Amino acid sequence: MTATPETPTTSIQRSQKVGDVQFTTTVKGEAVDSRITSLDFDDSGDFMIAASDDEQMHLFDVREGKKTKSVASKKYGVHLARFTHHSRQVLYASTKGDDSLRLLELHSESYVRYFSAHQEMVTCLALSPGSDTALSCSRDDTVCLWDLSSRNPQGKLKLSTPYLAAFDPSASVIAIASQSTSSILLYDVRNYDKAPFATFDLNDLEDRYTPTTKGRAWTRLEFSNDGKSLLLGTDYHGHFLLDAFDGRLKSFLTGRTGSPGRAAPVSSSGKPLGQGDACFTPDGRYVLGGSGEDADALVWDASQGGDASSYLQPAARLKGRERAAVIECNPRYNMIATGDIKVALWLPEESVTL
């Protein structure tokens, strides 16, 4: 499938806030003939990597809006492909054979290093914003802290269902979500082996907002870039927007129509893997997410409070062609990426389609 020749992606402005523009049109789409399980941009915003359930990674040139190559990992499987701070290196989790992480050099398609410590499938992979440090969570109830220059973990925690983790934007705090205990634990990176300095208890919030999926629906944990908010995504009812300092609920983001069709880390549904279908925009003002079974992408204004019951409805609905099972914001350009069977890149007020 070939794109039309007009590709005005160079008009994206690096300095313009995402909140100042309206994303209204899918501008590029390319089928990968499989179901997308994760998306990630490199630091420059010029490249994007997508992992799919046919055991391949797909590299996209963002400025051209097209796929440039696919890299197979048939022996080990692939999920949660993440760029390191070296734009041609990707860290990803194996899905078969063993449960190692693998650091791949994309240009030569050769492995730089393997990281082995988990005994079951990795459920989350997070890169530090400030160094070549990574966090991995696993179904074996462990969380490992890695220096990517060494194949051995720098630290290892044993917790109850610690299936999601995130670095704060200062790279000094780690948040770990434990679904079975309905809690989020905050650790000082320098004292990773010590007790958490704060624990947010979400038991009452789950009883109130997600009672039918309690204990099994958390899909994503992410700090806003200003460090003030913490997003806890779920796969059905909506998403929790929390105060990152005290865990207080700012609002519960609602308005979706069902599941995005991807499995939560604790799920045994047999659905394809995923990374969650909600994320912050780079300025931290908005949360973008899929609408579940519909093709629309939803936009919540995180600066606005919810109603009397703290429910926050979408401020806008962006019309798409297929559901946004996974979603990610470009860190440099005013661009959104969504994926299901097809990867779509969204630009403000411009239209180039396949």
Please write the tens of the pLDDT for every residue from 118-156: 999 999 999 999 899 999 999 999 999 999 999 999 999
Percent of the chain with pLDDT over 70: 88
Confidence of residue 30 (pLDDT cuts 50, 70, 90): low
What's the pLDDT at 321?
A: 82
Confidence of residue 87 (pLDDT cuts 50, 70, 90): confident
**Does the pLDDT at position 112 exceed 70?**
yes
**Does the pLDDT at position 86 exceed 90?**
no
What's the pLDDT at 78?
A: 95
Record the pTM: 0.89
Confidence of residue 58 (pLDDT cuts 50, 70, 90): very high
Q: How far apart are CA 283 and CA 274, in angstroms?
A: 24
What's the pLDDT at 76?
A: 93
Confidence of residue 32 (pLDDT cuts 50, 70, 90): low
Provide mean pLDDT across the span 174-203.
95
- Residue 24, CB half-sphere, CA atoms under 13 Å: how many? 7
**Does the pLDDT at position 7 exceed 60?**
no
Q: How far apart are CA 292 and CA 277, in angstroms?
A: 9
**Does the pLDDT at position 306 exceed 80?**
yes
Are the C-beta atoms of 263 and 275 separated by less than 8 Å? no
Are the C-beta atoms of 128 and 169 separated by less than 8 Å? no
Beta-bridge mates of residue 105: 89, 110
What's the pLDDT at 46?
A: 94
- The string of pLDDT tens digits covering residues 253-282 is 999 888 888 888 876 777 888 999 999 999
What's the pLDDT at 31?
A: 54
What's the pLDDT at 270?
A: 76
Confidence of residue 199 (pLDDT cuts 50, 70, 90): very high
Beta-bridge mates of residue 187: 174
**Does the pLDDT at position 182 exceed 90?**
yes
Provide mean pLDDT across the span 319-333.
91
CB atoms within 10 A of CB 194: 9
Q: Work out the mean pLDDT of the chain and round it to a whole number.
A: 87
**Does the pLDDT at position 230 exceed 90?**
yes
Q: Among candidates 96, 114, 105, 99, which has minimal Cα distance to 49?
A: 105
Residues 6+ apart with CB under 8 A from 34: 52, 53, 54, 56, 341
What's the pLDDT at 2?
A: 30
**Does the pLDDT at position 1 exceed 70?**
no
Q: Tell me 190's DSSP state.
A: G
**Does the pLDDT at position 71 exceed 60?**
yes
Confidence of residue 349 (pLDDT cuts 50, 70, 90): low
Confidence of residue 353 (pLDDT cuts 50, 70, 90): very low
More confident: 343 or 351? 343
